[in-house]
Structure 1
Amino acid sequence: MAGTGGSSSSNQSAAPKILLAKPGLVTAGKFIRGGPADDDSSASSLRSRLPSIGSLNLLSDSWEFHTDRFLPFLTDNTEFTVVGVIGPPGVGKSTIMNELYGFDGTSPGMIPPFSIQSEETKAMARHCTVGIEPRISADRIILLDTQPIFSPSVLAEMIRPDGSSTISILNGESLSAELAHELMGIQLGVLLASICHIIVVVSEGFHDINMWHLMSTVDLLKHGIPDPSSPTLSHSQNPNLSSEKENKDKVQDGGEEYMAAPVFVHTKLRDQHLTPHNFVQLKKALGQYFRSSSFIGAKYKEHNFASVSPNILNGDPHSAELKIFAIPFKNKDDSPRAQYDSHTCLLWKLRDQVLSMNGPSFARTVSERDWLKNSAKIWELVKNSPIIAEYSRTLQTSGMFRR
């Protein structure tokens, strides 16, 4: 799938095949641009300029965006796709991203590109992913795994004894840790909606709509944030100084505001939930919830939800509808149900559907390297967004969060 609509045969032929493994377990010298044909001298020169894999986070634990560590892995190729994931702890975000990467966990000795929560991590109530961890596949799929939303462990790490946040979320404003934690999820969502082609939104079970609410808030607060191909980002040395009115003008000049395509995934479903009737009801509820949002095209907004066929369980990836996918709870032997596929088989189908989607293209052709550099500028716009700042003040005055 073309990431930006641009193409270049020369760029594609020169695109390196890079395998990024679990942080800290593989040295940078393992990754050789150009493939097996490279000689020892080129491999040696590469080792001297590539960073260690353990420091690739685009977004750090201090909520700062870093481009220098990941930039050497990107090229001037314009045919790429960016897929991000967002969701609460323990719902399988990293597992899904490993599947999208094409990781085969059945081969002995293979290390997954994204860390998966271990039993020890679960017992200690800790999270694996910090900020945003990127990986890029040989097919030039840029995958962005994010720290969990609504995470007690994230909140515990950022709260001071007086209740304030150790992390600056909004342009240096002093906020309570609870409010800062709430805004972190929104900022992550706005960033992914701006710099990705596809966002995988993961919830646990059929009845958890917290992620739906978060993405609805993201839709309301994203206005004025451009996509990474915007010429205003390339020409602006300090995007923080843009006013809200200027940002709105940029959106109007570029036509309809950019919004990544969401894929809503409900995981850990029990057998009694996996019925065509339940899935149709869930799909209707999703469509009605986002009926007026930017995530749905005009054609789907006019769709008669009552006419959804009960036979399109985990439906057509090319349809104009919102994409929703159901993943069952994994049995010990991962055996298929009487009527439904196994956990592993449905992960394969999810990968096929996501990677075959006709996601939105950025307004202009942009290279991988420029995408990364402009994404850093977009992050500054997000952190300094007057709309998100006003929303923060509204939450403060509501009495829901300590001051």
Structure 2
Amino acid sequence: MSESGHSQPGLYGQGRRRRRRRGDRDVGAPGQNLSGPSRDRDYQPRERRDGSEDPPGPLIQKTPIILAKPPGERAKSSQNAPVSGASATEKPIMLMKARDDGGKPGTPPEVAAAQPSSSGPSKLEKEGQRPTQPVYQIQNRGMGASASSSAVDPMVGQSKLLPPEKMKHSIKLVDDQMNWCDSAMEYLRDQTDMLVVGVIGLQGSGKSTIMSLLSANTPEEDQRSYVFRAQTQEIKERGGNQSTGIDFFITQERVIFLDTQPMLSPSILDHLINNDRKLPPEYNLPHTYVEMQSFQIAAFLFTVCHVVIVVQDWFTDLNIYRFLQTAEMLKPSTPSASHDSTGSSGNDDGAEYYPHIVFLQNKARQEDFCPRNLKNMHMVVDKLMTHSHLKYKGTLSMVDCNVFPGLGQDYLSPEVNMFLLPVQESDGEDSLTKAASGTYPLFSLLPGYRGHPSFSTMVSKLRSQILAMPRCQLSHTILTEKNWFHYAARIWDGVKKSSALSEYSRLLC
């Protein structure tokens, strides 16, 4: 007990707070009329548990937070509250976010000193530290309001600016067992500006090489580094095939290339027979299974691709056109539009979707580039594809590529989507050989006449023509890359379970 016997307001306030923490009954405020012993008992200073008395001293009252003070009041406040010398001369700090108490980082020393703090002096009052002026709080939508700015990763806001992951080689979309693969999903993004290009052709026609040159490689590179593996010399000698199923590759320009196994391949049939592979229960003969695999792949490409390239290494095989017409007949129908009209925009007339077809004559000879022969080739293709719904003309032109600068625009009136690629060889080989032998010493620096531009020039022109093809809407709903992947998976599952394909395979037996 105190010797003076008089009560002190500061000590009374401290004792009152201690009784509340210990769960004792509450007492009145100093302004209330308390009678009798209770008033005397409550106003007596309390002793500590160790027997010592509380030291007398004024109680620092909690004052409202003032963000900007006039010079006169700031001077008075600095006299009452001890602050460091660096903080005493600070200018008014405009805070961008209100603070709840003075113990949080970023609070000015003047405000922190005027607030009651049980943890001692503020951290900003240490020597050598000054508050940031102005203070900006970094807010992240994915974090709560109580998260501190130090926990915010500065790279989070830049994640959407990172370029998409670049593919180094092709991956499987459909494996050799005709099963769908999901590994291509991680390379796709949520954007709609894409182009899907597929290819079909007979064995050894050069499908994988052409797709590699159109996507990511150049003719000068080694073929072993191509994104789509071409036939090696050993495979060519034993008459085998390199590609199986469907291979997937997407470029940085968001162009999806689909390379397929050869159509009606004799090597796949030979491998199926000699290795005693089990056939699916719905197929009785191996050759029927191989033929239906080809129809399934072609019908799938006709549904999910903007452009389908038909590669031939000679002109022309009538079985190719018969195969295209059969695959068009077995093609699954375009899914109907959703009942919900919001977010779906169907085709203009609700007709079935058909892709653009490009007939590529690979390994063309010099006489194939003769304008008269070229016109005859266009007329033959036009007659064979007259009754087809596939878009086989009007979107690709060799005349517009300036391959034949002397021909007029109306020379190939029924101009179909046909392009000729010469045999791939090193440029200037003949001229260098003649220059070394001394046959033409004055013209040794000029390339030899071949009847057509070089192979690399023709590949560049073909690539520009393919990438400029119209990107029609594949379904009644606008598809992103990821949506296209799910749409293609649903189409492939529907093709494998198609009743039309099953009925056609039954008729082949």
Same fold at TM > 0.5 = yes
Q: Give, in angstroms, the shift of residue 208 of structure 1.
A: 2.4
SS at match of 1:262: strand
1:369 — aligned with what?
482
Q: How does 1:199-238 map to 2 (within 5 A)?
A: 199-226=308-335
1:35 — aligned with what?
none
How far apart, in 1, do the equivalents of 2:310 and 2:181 lie? 24
Q: Is the 8 A contact 2:378 2:414 kept in 1?
A: no
2:455 — aligned with what?
343
How far apart, in 2, do the equivalents of 1:276 and 1:389 lie? 45
TM-score by length of 2: 0.56
Matched, 1:104 2:218: yes
Q: CA distance change for structure 1 residues 344 and 102 in 2, over 3 Å: closer, same or farther?
A: same
How far apart, in 1, do the equivalents of 2:223 and 2:348 lie? 52
Amino acid in structure 1 at the alignment position of 2:226 = P
Q: CA distance change for structure 1 residues 252 and 327 in 2, over 3 Å: closer, same or farther?
A: closer
Q: How does 1:59-138 map to 2 (within 5 A)?
A: 59-67=174-182, 69-106=183-220, 111-138=225-252
> What do you get for the CA RMSD once the two structures are aligned?
3.3
Q: CA distance change for structure 1 residues 188 and 206 in 2, over 3 Å: closer, same or farther?
A: same
Amino acid in structure 1 at the alignment position of 2:243 = T
2:467 — aligned with what?
355
1:28 — aligned with what?
none
How far apart, in 2, do the equivalents of 1:108 and 1:119 lie? 14
SS at match of 2:181: coil
Q: Which runs of 5+ in 1 are unaligned?
A: 1-9, 23-55, 233-250, 301-309, 397-403
Q: CA distance change for structure 1 residues 197 and 109 in 2, over 3 Å: closer, same or farther?
A: closer
SS at match of 2:173: coil
1:187-222 C-alpha deviation (Å, 9 max, x unpaired): 111000101111111111112233222211111111
Matched, 1:16 2:164: yes
How far apart, in 2, do the equivalents of 1:66 and 1:218 lie? 23
Q: Between Structure 1 and Structure 2, whose CA radius of gyration is higher? A: 2
2:387 — aligned with what?
292
Q: Give, in angstroms, the shift of residue 252 of structure 1.
A: 11
Q: Is the 8 A contact 2:165 2:187 kept in 1?
A: no
Amino acid in structure 2 at the alignment position of 1:388 = L
Question: What is the percentage of aligned positions where both structures have the same residue?
Answer: 30
Q: How does 1:1-400 map to 2 (within 5 A)?
A: 16-21=164-169, 56-67=171-182, 69-106=183-220, 111-159=225-273, 166-168=278-280, 172-226=281-335, 255-296=350-391, 322-331=416-425, 333=427, 337-362=449-474, 363-396=476-509
How far apart, in 1, do the equivalents of 2:160 and 2:355 lie? 24
Q: Which runs of 5+ in 2 are unaligned?
A: 1-157, 340-345, 395-403, 430-447
Q: Tell me which of the two structures has the higher relative contact order, counting C-alpha pairs closer than 8 angstroms and 6 or more residues apart.
A: 1
SS at match of 1:57: strand
How far apart, in 1, do the equivalents of 2:185 and 2:492 lie? 16
> Number of residue pairs matched?
315
Q: Give, in angstroms, the shift of residue 312 of structure 1.
A: 9.4
Q: Is the 8 A contact 1:15 1:75 kept in 2?
A: no
Q: Give, in angstroms, the shift of residue 103 of structure 1.
A: 1.4
Q: Is the 8 A contact 1:159 1:166 kept in 2?
A: no
Q: Is the 8 A contact 1:17 1:137 kept in 2?
A: no
Q: Is the 8 A contact 2:217 2:226 kept in 1?
A: yes
1:219-274 C-alpha deviation (Å, 9 max, x unpaired): 111142549xx659xxxxxxxxxxxxxxxxxx999811111111111111222332
Q: CA distance change for structure 1 residues 175 and 350 in 2, over 3 Å: closer, same or farther?
A: farther
SS at match of 1:98: helix
Q: Give, in angstroms, the shift of residue 128 of structure 1.
A: 1.4
When structure 1 is superposed on structure 2, of 360-369 and 370-379 the one drifting more is: 360-369
Q: CA distance change for structure 1 residues 105 and 207 in 2, over 3 Å: closer, same or farther?
A: closer
